[in-house]
Amino acid sequence: MTARWIRAALAGVAALSLALTGCGGADDEPSAGTGGRVTVFAAASLTETFTKLGKDYEAAHPGTKVVLNFAGSSALATQITQGAPADVFAAASPATMTTVTDAGDAAGTPAVLVRNQLVIAVPKGNPDRVAGLADLARPGVKVALCAEQVPCGTAARTALAAAGVRLTPATLEQDVKGALAKVKLGEVDAALVYRTDVRAAAELDAVEFPESARAVNDYPIVVLKHAGNPAGARAFVDHVRSDAGLAVLTAAGFQAPPNR
Amino acid sequence: MTRPARRRQRVPLALLLPAGLGLLFLVLPLAGLLVRAPWTTLPRRLAQPGVLTALRLSLETATAATLLCVALGVPLAWLLARVEFPGRRLVRALVTVPLVLPPVVGGVALLLVFGRRGLLGSWLDTTFGVSLPFTTAGVVLAEAFVAMPFLVIAVEGALRGADPRYEEAAATLGAGRWTTFTRVTLPLVAPGVAAGAVLCWARALGEFGATITFAGNYPGRTQTMPLAVYLALETDVQAAIVLSLILLTVSVAILAGLRDRWVGTA
């Protein structure tokens, strides 16, 4: 417990000091319109795409620095409502975003950035011949799911219920990357994760299943009310929602939102 | 009464101030837990089935891990304190590595050895059909891994502090090394063993990183209190505070109850 708490506390302190130095930096630089430091809290499943989008943004806006904090959306939402100094929040589900908007921590209405769907992640070559959700309930097949508290866990539960499949997972991981890691390490035979996570992992294959259409997750993004750099935050959100930004996200396996 | 008073006058402010700040820094977060605790809904929250399941699992695994540590750690401490052998300093350094190792790294290391594809784990799996990750035994293993150094260091310290003449006397009276160990050494260092076991138990109770990495998280099987706290924090801060409060109460109660008896004298 202590290690995690200390880590969370340190992350908070680090983020705070970053925000403080960010403010100081903005004073030094007269071009601070969209300059300075943008602190983005993003869902774990956005790790690869937002890292790339952050670099693109920095390249397009010289003198800026995008600081990314990836974790389970619910943990991030809790951190934000507890006062963590972030400029932008990108969540993996509307429910986790609601935590932030209900607390009055969002500036404006969240926009749906992309959508994501669950797949079954299996080791390359699918050694257990998993063809659908029903195969995960077979005896001897070890499965990792996300905990219900995080969006990928909620989606997994919805999909399993839609398929009428009951299974006892080996573990309920605290975020989607945790579930993914357990398949990569070979400790479980399969995990329910996002399509984008499997596409980013060369050693895994994705098994698509029809029930995942019932558990599509919208990814909302919003500028936060207490943003230290609101102009930079808006510019970053515009950047990821631009056609170029959306292209990066769809290339990774995300689906464009219905209105695009 | 007069001596402490005289001593207090001599405490320089340059030491007293940081000392007070240090104490405040340690105590304030705990006070925060108490202040923010949802006292009115506390009984209802405590009665939720998941809470007791996690608490029981925590107490059981911490106790099992402590027993494992005592069974293996006391002989190891004796070896380090009483037997001259080449590389003893290296062994002592190795024993303390889990103390400084981030627990998550310990969990990954455990997976690489005891995991299904691990060095020993794959053999255990194919030969005996035993798989340790995601089991309660895996939790015990993870907790023992991070907690054992506390016991070994405490017991070794007690052994070094114990007068070796008693053991020599036993030897001259014809007792073998085993008899000397069980009849003379062990009773002599019993307070040290107890102190080490308490520290070990407390560390095992609070274990998070190695547990969630190696044993995963499943209610009733591997979800100990610290894991429950972390996951509760994702959605329900109040629940997390309640769980933290329970863990704090249990730890403080055990330490306070045993301190005067054993830990203080060691």
- Tell me, what's the ipTM? 0.76
Supply B32's token pair.
């925060």
Confidence at A23, pLDDT banded by 50, 70, 90: very low
Give residue-wise pLDDT tens across range B43-59: 888 888 788 899 999 99
CA distances for B11 relative to A33, A74, B5, B25, B29, angstroms? 54, 48, 10, 20, 27
Interface subset of A 51-80, CB within 8 angstroms of B:
72, 74-75, 78
Q: What is the pLDDT of residues B240-250, one digit of tens each?
A: 899 999 888 88
Instruction: Assign A18 a pLDDT band (cuts: 50, 70, 90).
Output: very low
| A-chain residues near B218 (CB < 8 A) | 169-172
Is residue A79 within 8 Å of residue A42, measured between CB atoms? no
Q: SS3 string of chain B?
A: CHHHHHHHHCCCHHHHHHHHHHHHHHHHHHHHHHHHCCHHHHHHHHCCHHHHHHHHHHHHHHHHHHHHHHHHHHHHHHHHHHCCCCCHHHHHHHHHHHHHCCHHHHHHHHHHHHCCCCCCHHHHHHHHCCCCCCCHHHHHHHHHHHHHHHHHHHHHHHHHHCCHHHHHHHHHCCCCHHHHHHHHHHHHCHHHHHHHHHHHHHHHHCCCHHHHHHCCCCCCCCCCHHHHHHHHHHHCHHHHHHHHHHHHHHHHHHHHHHHHHHHCCC
Q: How confident is the model at residue B251 (pLDDT cuts 50, 70, 90)?
A: confident
Cα A141 to the center of its chain, rounded Å = 27
Residues in chain B: 266
Which pLDDT band, with edges at 50, 70 and 90, does A223 fall under? Answer: very high
| A176 marked among binding-site residues | yes
CATH fold, domain B45-263, is MetI-like fold (1.10.3720)
What does the pLDDT average to over B54-83?
95
B143 touches chain A (CB under 8 A): no
The answer on pLDDT for A35 being more than 90 is no
Distance of residue A104 Cα from the nearest chain B Cα, in angstroms: 17
A168-179 pLDDT tens trace: 999 999 888 899
With beta carbons under 8 A apart, name residues in chain B contacting A142.
Answer: 134
Instruction: Note whether A171 contacts B134, CB cutoff 8 Å.
Output: yes
A-B C-beta contacts closer than 8 Å: 81
**% of chain A surpassing 70 pLDDT:** 86
Nearest CA in chain B to A172: B217
C-alpha angle with apex B190: B188 to B195, nearest 5 degrees?
A: 135
Neighbours of A170 (CB within 10 A): 27
Say whether A57 counts as a known binding-site residue.
Answer: no
What pLDDT digit, counting tens, does each position of A142-164 carry?
999 999 888 899 999 999 999 99
Q: Hey, is the C-beta of B247 within 8 angstroms of any chain A C-beta?
A: yes
Q: Residue A32, Cβ neighbours under 10 Å: how many? A: 17
Where residue B117 falls among pLDDT bands split at 50, 70, 90? confident
Is B138 near chain A, with CB under 8 Å? no
**Edge-to-edge strands, sheet with A106-116:** A64-71, A36-43, A88-90, A217-224, A106-116
Distance from CA of B87 to the nearest CA of A (A): 32
Mean pLDDT confidence for A192-215: 92
Q: In chain B, what residues touch A169 (CB-CB under 8 Å)? A: 218
| A212 labelled ligand-binding | no
Q: Nearest 5°: phi and psi at A179? A: -65, -40
Contact criterion met (CB below 8 Å) for A115 and A212 = no
Q: A154 touching B, CB under 8 A? A: no
Residues of A in contact with B103 (CB under 8 A): 3
Q: Is B207 on the interface with A (CB under 8 A)?
A: yes
The tokens describing B183, both together, are 């009849």
pLDDT tops 70 at residue B213: yes
What's residue B3's pLDDT?
53
Q: What residues 50-69 of chain B have any CB closer than 8 A to a CB of chain A?
A: none
Q: Do B134 and A74 touch (CB under 8 A)?
A: no
pLDDT of residue B256: 81
- Taking a C-beta distance cutoff of 8 angstroms, is the pair A126, A51 a contact? no
Choice between A87 and A259, residue whose per-residue pLDDT is larger: A87
Evaluate if residue B68 carries a pLDDT over 90: yes
Mutating which of B131, B199, B231, B238 best tests the A interface, going by the most A Cβ atoms within 10 A? B231
Of B217, B235, B247, the CB nearest to A1: B247
A93 belongs to an annotated ligand binding site: no
> What residues have CB less than 8 Å from A155, skipping those under 6 apart?
A93, A118, A192, A212, A215, A216, A217
Instruction: Taking residues B113-134, report their average pLDDT.
Output: 90
Mean pLDDT, chain A, whole residue set: 86
pLDDT, chain B, mean: 89
Which domains occur in chain A, in start order?
2-115+218-251 (3.40.190.10), 118-215 (3.40.190.10)
> CB of A97 within 8 A of CB of A115?
no
Residue A27 has pLDDT above 50, yes or no: no
Which of A145, A154, A180, A187 would you mutate first to test chain B, the one with the most B CBs within 10 A?
A: A187
Q: Can you tell me the mean pLDDT for B100-114?
A: 92
Q: Is B109 on the interface with A (CB under 8 A)?
A: no
Q: How many Å apart are CA B202 and CA A223, to the nearest integer?
A: 43
Whole-angstrom distance, CA of residue B6 vs CA of residue B8: 5
**Look-up: residue for tokens 């076991």?**
B197
Q: How high is the pLDDT of residue B259? A: 66
